[in-house]
Chains A and B, each alone.
Chain A
Amino acid sequence: MKILAIDTSCDDTSVAISDGLNILANVFWSKMKLHSDWGGVVPIEAKRQHEQFLDPAIQECLKQANLKLEQIDYIAITYGPGLAIALEAGITKAKELSKTYNKKIVAVNHMIGHVYSVLARDNEGNPISDLHDFEFPLLALTISGGHTDMYLMTDHLKFQNIGQTLDDSVGEAIDKVGRMLGMGFPAGAKIEESAKKGDASKFKFPRPLSDSMDLNWSFSGLKTAVLYQVRKIVGDYSHKPQKGDFKLEDASDMLDENTIYDISASFQQAAIDSLLIKVEKALKNHKPKMLVVGGGVIANKTLRDQLDTLTKKYSTPLFFPKPIWLCTDNASMIAVAGYFYAKENRFVKNLDELDRVPALTI
């Protein structure tokens, strides 16, 4: 089964072609560098980029896979969650291809894509992340810029939400702390690099909700605690926000290098502990056959190592997408999830009803 997948949920334009779970081609176009100056994604720029690069990306993918569009069986498209106008660019293209080439569409939830990214195989059929198939019940953790959620899966595509953040996602907290420390956007890799040189026990940051019985998280309070620590060190550096004033929280000029390293390390450990406390509760309560983690934040190696230690304690196998490109947004995971949607006959019945759902949940 050959699937052409498109993901335009945020600022990366990604197109992939798979044969079953085997990824034959995956093409990215990212303008991340242009966004980092001021600290975020510019939605309208992302949309323009998608519109401009979707066609060449599709052509490049077909070339790499040595296929023609006529030979594709189905189209898989991300319909949410994500930035509304960015999602729309991909959906419009998918509908156009569907009509021109008479192909059925599967509309894929981007977050389900992140969970399924671990099942991607290379073009020879070898599992890229050393996992052949899911075993249920499965515990799935999705951690990214917009999400911090935990699910219990009882079968393929059957999800039960058992935990989520009550305010900010972990990725958002990382990016906002990164901004205070002058690291630009996205800040994940830079925080981790900086944390390596710092002392994680130097500052006492909270692990919000760690005593609560449920499996929910809160990262807003952790972010604010870091802000207060920074203020305590440099004196109150903020002023009332003015119109057109975007950089009010960057305090990096007033902090010495070692302090930035220590804040990074202490914050990173608090964020990891917060995640792990609830993952451990879920391992105890639900005794899953395996833990699967997806989303951009699992690119963090310190988190990977500590999750590994934790899951070993419970003899629960741990899987996450090994290469970084499979952790962050990509169309391969949409192709892989799309394969399971197609196997279950979950096609879009009426093209006119296919619409973006920016706040889509699982």
Chain B
Amino acid sequence: MFEFEIKSEKDMKMVVDEVLSFYSGESLILNCIGDLGTGKTTFTKYLAKELGVTNIVISPTFIIQKEYQGHHDQKKVNLQHIDMYRLVNEYELDEIKLKSIFKPNTIVVIEWANKFLDYIEKLAIETGSKVYYLYFEHVDIETRKVYLKKIEIN
């Protein structure tokens, strides 16, 4: 378990660096768990920046899923940004074709993943994806804590 203290937005880069430190093009799922305003979307912004994505990353709460093109180690990386805040039932995940985006050269950030952890883990095993857990916590108005857990579930 890695622990990061986030004093300013820029500190989020430390988390991103650790997430990407051993990344080499596998299917990677980042389960982001934490209350409103703890930095889940901010983390995704910094991840996108590190992957060279030029678009502005905005909250996907409204449209649920957004896709960006980036690169890492001279290889193309597809960044998928998903927000499960509005989803209720597992069959909705079938409908957004979650399984089809768990594939090599793809990093899938899932905000509010805590709502469907069993489902995500099951698909991760089926698709041979790596799963990391990121827990976001409020400390005080300026400070957040992020815990990163890397699990090889396969």
- The answer to whether the Cβ of B127 comes within 8 Å of any Cβ in the partner chain is no
* Residues in chain A near residue B63, CB distance under 8 A: 81-84, 146, 358-359
Against A, the Cβ 8 Å flags (1 = close, 0 = not) of B70-96 are 000000000000000111110110011
* Residues in chain A near residue B59, CB distance under 8 A: 167-169, 172, 220
Q: How far is the CB of B55 from chain A (nearest CB, A)?
A: 9
A44 lies within 8 A of B114 (CB): no
Against B, the Cβ 8 Å flags (1 = close, 0 = not) of A145-168 are 110000000000000000011111
- The answer to whether the Cβ of A310 comes within 8 Å of any Cβ in the partner chain is no
Cross-interface CB contact of A169 among B62, B64, B88, B114, cutoff 8 Å: B62
- Known contacts: A41-B86, A166-B56, A243-B114. The answer to whether A145 contacts B62 by CB under 8 A is yes
- The answer to whether the Cβ of B37 comes within 8 Å of any Cβ in the partner chain is yes
Q: A residues 195-245 with Cβ under 8 Å of B? A: 220, 223-225, 227-228, 238, 240-245
Contact residues of A: prevailing secondary structure: loop
Against B, the Cβ 8 Å flags (1 = close, 0 = not) of A10-44 are 00000000000000000000000000001011111
Most buried by A among B86, B87, B115: B86
- The answer to whether the Cβ of B35 comes within 8 Å of any Cβ in the partner chain is yes
B87 lies within 8 A of A245 (CB): no
> How many B residues face the partner with a CB closer than 8 A?
36
* Residues in chain B near residue A223, CB distance under 8 A: 36-37
A244 to B41, CA, bound (A): 21
B41 lies within 8 A of A246 (CB): no
- The answer to whether the Cβ of B153 comes within 8 Å of any Cβ in the partner chain is no
B87 lies within 8 A of A244 (CB): no
A180 to B36, CA, bound (A): 10
* Residues in chain A near residue B67, CB distance under 8 A: 359
A220 lies within 8 A of B62 (CB): no
Against A, the Cβ 8 Å flags (1 = close, 0 = not) of B31-66 are 001111100011001000000000010110111111
Q: How far is the CB of B63 from chain A (nearest CB, A)?
A: 5
B86 lies within 8 A of A241 (CB): no
* Residues in chain B near residue A38, CB distance under 8 A: 88
* Residues in chain B near residue A255, CB distance under 8 A: none
- The answer to whether the Cβ of A114 comes within 8 Å of any Cβ in the partner chain is no
A43 lies within 8 A of B86 (CB): yes
A220 lies within 8 A of B95 (CB): no
B36 lies within 8 A of A249 (CB): yes
A41 to B135, CA, bound (A): 26
Cross-interface CB contact of A43 among B37, B87, B112, B135, cutoff 8 Å: B87
Which residues of B are at the interface with A, using a C-beta cutoff of 8 A?
Answer: 33-37, 41-42, 45, 56, 58-59, 61-67, 85-89, 91-92, 95-96, 112, 114-115, 117-118, 135, 137-138, 141
Which residues of A are at the interface with B, using a C-beta cutoff of 8 A?
Answer: 38, 40-44, 47, 81-85, 145-146, 164-169, 171-172, 176, 180, 220, 223-225, 227-228, 238, 240-246, 248-249, 358-359
**Cross-chain pairs A/B with CB under 8 angstroms, 27 sampled:** A40-B85, A43-B95, A44-B89, A81-B63, A83-B63, A83-B64, A84-B64, A85-B96, A146-B62, A166-B56, A167-B42, A167-B59, A169-B58, A180-B36, A220-B37, A220-B41, A224-B37, A228-B141, A238-B138, A240-B135, A241-B34, A243-B115, A244-B115, A248-B35, A249-B36, A358-B64, A358-B65
Other CB < 8 Å A-B pairs besides A43-B87, A84-B63, A84-B96, 14 of them? Answer: A42-B86, A42-B88, A42-B92, A44-B95, A81-B63, A169-B62, A172-B61, A172-B62, A224-B36, A238-B35, A241-B112, A242-B114, A249-B36, A359-B66
